Structure 1
Amino acid sequence: MLRWLLEEGGWDLDVSPIQTLEPESAVGLASVPDSATLESEVVTSLFTDRRAAADDRLPDPAGEASLERRGWWADALHEVAGHLTGSKLWLLVRRKADEETRLLAELYAREALQHLIDQGAAAAVEVTAAWSLPPRAPGRLALEVAVVRPDGSRVTAGFDLAWTA
């Protein structure tokens, strides 16, 4: 897991496995109370490219169908079969800025953050996406994420995704 170290102002790579145990005894997110670690996990989950499924529509930046399904190489080493890291937000990069794309962005973000609930680091994850209106920033999708911890406290983050349909 990639962790942001607030005091040091840099990233650290923690290669110890996250065990699937009861939240109070889990190694990983559930046992780390600080917001910086949770925020780092949100960023990593949203902006690491999850492997596309065989039936996902792939973007075609060169004007021809791409066969590249991406994905994180370490998913092949994960202890839980079928576990996929990251999000499918990358699949939306060439889509039109419309309601379908906005709803898919919310779905893909929720899917990417579900592991926080499964591991006991969050009681809920709330995601909203909205198209920015002129003159603020046309062509941008504002993604708002709120992670509700088991104790009820919230960690929030916002992201503006540039759009080039």
Structure 2
Amino acid sequence: MIITPNREASLVRAVVISLFTWRRAATDDPLDDDERYGWWGDSYPSIADDRIGSRLWLLRRVKLTADTRRDAEFYAREALRWLVEDEGVTDIEILSEQADVNRLNLRVILTISTGARLEINSNQLWQVIYAV
């Protein structure tokens, strides 16, 4: 099964916005400073607890470990959950791969309602983590 070019472009754009808009940190998230960041529009959601973005930014200064990979996959899955709820995506698979000692790539695989799968590789579009 095939995904039309327009649908593919829309899904890629949705994934990039969802992963790389900074979601406000939760009250129990460890922070480097006192700033919880986040998109101001989340202060006035039209649907209760509807948030945009991910908490991947929390990993910007952490050492790349198995826990970091697990957290990155969790934050990505959390940020993309709305695609299943709203957009006809039936499944989201998140895979992480340590590219080198300073970089973690994410691969997102979306399955849409027709059964077609779209793979979005971070090494083609963005760099998820660059540890210092």
Same fold (TM over 0.5): yes
Q: Which residue of structure 2 lines up, in the alignment, with residue 94 of structure 1?
A: 61
Report if aligned partners of 2:59, 2:129 keep a CA contact under 8 Å in 1: no
Structure 1 residue 162: deviation in Å? 4.0
Q: CA deviation at 1:79?
A: 1.2
- Runs of 4+ aligned residues of structure 1 deviating over 6 Å after TM superposition are none
Distance 1:68 1:129 in 2: 27
Question: How far, CA to CA, are the matches of 2:115 and 2:15 in structure 1?
Answer: 17
Query: In the alignment, which residue of structure 1 is the partner of 2:93?
Result: 126
Counterpart in 2 of 1:44?
A: 17
Match of 1:11 in 2: none
> What is the TM-score when the length of structure 1 is the normalising length?
0.71
Pair 1:106-2:73 in alignment:
yes
Q: Which runs of 5+ in 2 are unaligned?
A: 1-5
Q: Does 1:151 align with 2:114?
A: yes
> Contact 1:120 / 1:150 at 8 angstroms: preserved in 2?
no
Paired residue type of 1:145: V
What residue is the counterpart of 2:39 in the other structure?
72
> Cα offset for 1:85?
0.6
Which has the larger share of helix?
2
- 1:10 is aligned to none
C-alpha RMSD of the superposition? 1.3
Indicate the residue corresponding to 1:83 in structure 2.
Answer: 50
Unaligned runs of 5+ in 1: 1-32, 61-65
Spell out, residue by residue over 1:118-159, the C-alpha distance to the aligned partner (whole angstroms, 9 max, x if none). 1142001100011114xxxx4110100011101111121111
Secondary structure in 1 matching 2:54 = coil
Instruction: Give distance in 2, aligned partners of 1:83 and 1:68.
Output: 21
| Distance in 2 (alpha carbons) for counterparts of 1:122 and 1:149 | 4
Q: Percent identity?
A: 40
